[in-house]
Amino acid sequence: MVDVVKLLDAAIAAGAEILRIYETDFAVSHKSDQSPVTEADIAAEKIIVAQLQLIAPDVPIVAEEAAAAGQVPATAERFFLVDPLDGSKEFITKNGEFTVNIGLIEHGVPVLGVVYAPALGRIWWGQRQEGAHCAQVVDGALQGQRKISVREAAEAGIDVVGSRSHGASDTDAWLQRFQVANFVPAGSSLKFCLVASGEADLYPRLGRTMEWDTAAGDAILRAAGGRVQTVSGDVLCYGKRNQGHDTDFANPHFVAFGDPNLA
């Protein structure tokens, strides 16, 4: 298994560079799909990829910005998915809700994930059969490390976390099947982490995502005892290529559950 400590170090190093650029008057450009990209995306990805090539040189890396440029390696049973800066809109508007994401896939399953929110100083990680954890990051070091797990849904109503920047018009209708006590908007893969740490119960995503957006958070949530499935009830899988209906690595709509009984 890949050394999770080294993945944490890679995410923290990338986060430090992101924060350096965050404090500058950075430029924003747009990719072919009109999604925004900044120099922070490029710089963070370069740091992470270089570290992963040292940590696990034989494991292919599918990284968002390289993929956007058409640089996608062949993927086998085991590969990394990297989103160096998830929540570019949150980065641009400077609300702090952006994350660094590194996920490891084995046989279509996310088995290891790290999510770091550098502006918030919070980091989460999870590994199959090893559980999930979170900590604060202070001056590049972990403090207050603790194990996390999902919570049992309350009968009085559940707390739902949803996208701040990518609202889906049919999310409210889908949620009618539940007694919702609170709906809290949040950016990037933070939503997975809030469910994994028992701060929310449910995260529905009835909008477009790519595998690098979800792999790390999905791994953490599964390690914490949760479940991520498509709206049709299938477990979300990874390494989806040659999809006749969509591009490589595109996800279907999905729901992330804390308490598996909600599914």
- Would you call 215 helix, strand, or coil by DSSP? helix
Contacts (Cβ under 8 Å, ≥6 apart) of 167? 207
Where is the binding site for substrate, in residues? 64, 213
Q: How far apart are CA 225 and CA 235, in angstroms?
A: 14
Where is the binding site for Mg(2+), in residues? 64, 83, 85-86, 213
List Cα–Cα distances, 180 to 154, 156, 253, in angstroms.
Answer: 10, 8, 20
Where is the binding site, in residues? 64, 83, 85-86, 213
| DSSP-assigned letters across all residues of 51-82 | HHHHH-TTS-EEEHHHHHTT------SEEEEE
Residue found by looking up tokens 């049709």 in the block: 232
